[in-house]
């Protein structure tokens, strides 16, 4: 996942190439192909992004950081999953990729975030684990209404979360 704010197209392509030749091929062989990408923490994607992902062989990818107004507009039209068309000036190149935008960053719901200072989420105990699980399922169902397709990615965590195992009493 490159930072697109300061990275040249050459560096982005080179990073993909090194990842494939130095990491994937030695472990999985030459025929292995990554089909899904994850680019959730650069501060925005460039207009070249869907083209690079499509040319790299991705079928779909997940992004996160878009403007709040745009995210809200996409939610209203069930548009957090869409076919992002990249550079259409390249002849005979399919430069589009299915894109899934995370609905509320990559964090857990506040209901289950018991490590954030000042949050009222209760620690998990045998007495409340069923109720918390049901509430989480209800939250995922609520969020699913912002997407067109039946597959929903519901991340659980955030930066520096879930480090204190002593808060789980099961």
Catalytic residues: 41
Interatomic CA distance for residues 99 and 69, integer angstroms: 18
Tell me how far apart the alpha carbons of residues 29 and 92 are, in angstroms, rounded to a whole number: 28
CB distance 125 to 97 below 8 Å: no
Which residues make beta-bridge pairs with 118?
none
**CB 34, CB 97: distance < 8 Å:** no
The answer to whether residues 88 and 95 touch, using CB atoms and an 8 Å cutoff, is: yes
Question: CA dist 111 to 29, 96, 103, 168, Å?
Answer: 43, 36, 16, 14
């Amino acid at each position: 996942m490159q930072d697109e704010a300061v990275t040249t197209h050459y560096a982005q392509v080179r990073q993909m190439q090194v990842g494939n030749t130095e990491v994937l091929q030695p472990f999985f062989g030459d025929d292995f192909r990554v089909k899904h990408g994850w680019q959730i923490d650069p501060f925005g994607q460039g207009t070249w992004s869907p083209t690079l992902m499509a040319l790299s062989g991705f079928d779909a990818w997940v992004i996160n950081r878009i403007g709040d107004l745009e995210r809200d507009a996409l939610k209203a039209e069930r548009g957090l999953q869409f076919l992002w068309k990249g550079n259409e000036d390249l002849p005979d190149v399919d430069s589009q990729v299915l894109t899934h935008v995370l609905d509320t960053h990559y964090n857990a719901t506040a209901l289950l975030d018991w490590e954030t200072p000042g949050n009222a989420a209760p620690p998990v105990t045998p007495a409340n684990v069923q109720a918390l699980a049901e509430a989480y399922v209800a939250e995922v169902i609520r969020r699913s209404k912002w997407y067109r397709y039946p597959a929903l990615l519901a991340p659980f965590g955030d930066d520096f979360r879930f480090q204190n195992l002593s808060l789980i009493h099961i």
